[in-house]
Amino acid sequence: MDRLHGILVFLRVVEHGTLSGAARALGVSTAAVSSTLSRLEKQLAGRLLIRTTRGLSTTPEGAEFYARCKQITAELAEAEGLVSRAARAVVGRLRVRLPLTLGRMWIVPSLPLFMRKHPSLAVEIVCMDIVPHTIEDGIDLSVQTGELHDSSLAVRQLATTRYVICAAPDYFASRGTPQSPEELHDHNCIAYRRPRTGRVREWKVMNGTVVRQITISSAMTFNRIGMLIEGARAGYGLIQVPECYAQPYLASGELIETLEDYKAGGYTISVVYRQQQRLAPKVRVFMDFLATLFDPPPWTLPQPGRSSARPPPPRRKRQRS
Tens-of-pLDDT digits for all 321 residues of the chain?
578 888 888 899 888 888 888 899 889 999 998 999 899 888 889 899 988 767 788 999 989 998 999 898 888 888 777 666 655 668 889 999 999 999 999 999 999 999 999 999 999 999 887 777 777 778 999 999 887 776 788 899 999 999 999 999 999 999 999 999 999 998 999 999 988 888 888 999 988 888 888 888 788 999 999 999 999 999 999 999 999 999 999 999 999 999 999 988 878 999 999 887 678 889 999 999 999 999 999 888 775 544 545 666 555 444 444
If phi > 0 it is left, if psi is from -120 to 50 it is alpha, else beta; for residue 292 that is alpha
75/105 same-domain check: no
* Same structural domain, 109 and 257: yes
Domain contains 72: yes
pLDDT score, position 312: 60
The whole-number pLDDT of residue 148 equals 77
Q: Are residues 247 and 137 in the same domain?
A: yes
What pLDDT does residue 131 have? 78
Does residue 127 sit in the same domain as residue 226? yes
Measured CA to CA in angstroms, residue 8 lies from 25, 28, 45, 160, 240 at distances of 11, 13, 18, 55, 69
Give the SS3 label for residue 282.
Answer: helix
Q: Does residue 217 fall inside a structural domain?
A: yes
Q: Is residue 137 part of a domain?
A: yes
| 220 inside domain | yes
- Within a domain: residue 263? yes
Q: Is residue 316 part of a domain?
A: no
Do 146 and 289 sit in the same domain of this protein? yes
pLDDT of residue 196: 81
136: three-class secondary structure by DSSP = coil
Inside any domain, residue 309:
no
Question: What is the structure's pLDDT at 305?
Answer: 47
Residues 45 and 194 grouped into a single domain: no
| Partners of 165 in the β-ladder | 240, 258
Q: Which domain holds residue 11?
A: 2-88
pLDDT of residue 207: 81
Give the C-alpha separation, 27 to 32, whole Å. Answer: 10
For residues 131 and 101, the answer to whether their CB atoms sit within 8 Å is no
Question: Do 74 and 101 share a domain, yes or no?
Answer: no
Q: Which residues of 204-243 are buried (b: 16+ CB within 10 A; e: fewer)?
A: bbbeeeeeeebebebebebbebeebbebbbebbbbbbbbb
State which of 38, 63, 88 marks the end of a domain.
88
Could you tell me if residue 132 is inside a domain? Answer: yes
Q: Are residues 254 and 120 in the same domain?
A: yes
Residues 8 and 67 reside in one and the same domain: yes
- What CATH number corresponds to the domain at position 76? 1.10.10.10
| Predicted local confidence at residue 124, as pLDDT | 95
Judge contact between 33 and 19, C-beta under 8 A. Answer: yes
Q: Name the domain count of the chain.
A: 2
Residues 66 and 213 in one domain: no
Answer yes or no: do 207 and 75 share one domain.
Answer: no
Q: How many CB atoms lie within 10 A of CB 11?
A: 16
228, 293: one domain: yes
3-state helix, strand, coil in the chain (%, to 5): 40, 25, 35
* Predicted pLDDT at 309: 54
Q: What is the CATH number of the domain that holds 124?
A: 3.40.190.290
Q: What is the model's pTM?
A: 0.67
